[in-house]
Structure 1
Amino acid sequence: MALIAYARVSTDGQTLDAQISQLKAAGADKIFKEKVSGARADRPQLRKALATLMSDDVLVVIRLDRLARSTRDLLNILDEVASKGAHFRSLSDTWADTTTPHGRLMLTVLGGLAEFERELIRARTGEGRERAKANGVQMGRKPKLTPHQRKEALRRRDAGEALTAIARTYDVSHSTISRLQA
């Protein structure tokens, strides 16, 4: 079992020293360090730390905000850790420790709450979409052709004119013309 640590600060003006000393004091075998915003999805050192994890290893951070930028991000990272048979521990957030039954329970509850929140958002989005449709709002991309252009293009197509010639007139692809329906 190895303690794999991850330390991160957001800007070049900040220092990793305090995090590194806390992680070393906790017994970290290897520390992955980076100076990058937590809002960035591409954090190369975090990727390397996760790739290093083996079964029964523990990924350690000093605080949850050093690891994840949102609950969803945290749960995705913890899922990746668990899929390797590894564990996770936050030194400052003692409840976030998957090496203990209580920690696993807390993170399971957190995952359930995040899933519940996603379902609420999905329901509200669906309701909003239905209200908008009822109020006459057209969903999707704006049509490339106006109703007048559509009628004219259909008339020209029915007269046997080449699709590419019609399309060139309206600056659209020939497949847009071929998909037109009366």
Structure 2
Amino acid sequence: MIYGYARVSTNAQDLAAQIGQLEAAGYERIFHDKLSGLNTDRPRLRKLLEEAARGDIVITPAIDRLSRDTADLLTFARDLKAAGVALRYLAELIIDTSSELADVVLAVLGLAAKLEHKRLGSAGRPAGRRRTG
């Protein structure tokens, strides 16, 4: 079975582009959440992780759709690998979760996703500069 997973942070955001990417990649069943990537308690992700079984593949448009927290990302990847489930990221095709280097690559990309989240949260203000009133 090929599962797709898409996520946006808020109800105001649209999943259409991600779902289109997953359709092009050939998913058979899709799960999606409209919650922050820092939130690990995502109902549809939890359901996907429960359903995926040995020999299945989970695809997601990009690594930050699965998680924006490095530790959580590595936990998801480890749990899927232990269950015999392959994990693929459409934007980061270099990641092969069956490789021994997968944890290193995931850690670096997870850290980048977390830093991007912090940058986006600063509302476009350069780091280190504060408004004065």
TM-score over 0.5 (shorter chain): yes
Partner of 1:68 in structure 2? Answer: 67
Distance 1:94 1:15 in 2: 24
- Same amino acid, percent of matched pairs: 40
Partner of 2:42 in structure 1? Answer: 43
Instruction: After TM superposition, give the deviation of residue 111 of structure 1 in Å.
Output: 6.7
Distance 1:62 1:8 in 2: 9
Distance 1:67 1:78 in 2: 10
1:26 aligns with 2:42: no
**Contact 1:95/1:106 (<8 A) preserved:** no
CA separation of 1:36/1:111 partners in 2, compared to 1, >3 Å: closer, same or farther?
closer
Pair member with larger Rg: 1
Moved over 3 A (4+): 110-113
CA separation of 1:15/1:25 partners in 2, compared to 1, >3 Å: closer, same or farther?
same
1:58 aligns with 2:53: no
Which structure has more strand as a fraction of its residues? 2
Which structure has more helix as a fraction of its residues? 1
Distance 2:17 2:101 in 1: 27
CA RMSD of aligned residues (A): 1.8
Q: Which amino acid aligns with 1:45?
A: R
Distance 2:88 2:34 in 1: 21
TM-score (norm 2): 0.75
Runs of 5+ in structure 1 lacking a partner? Answer: 114-182
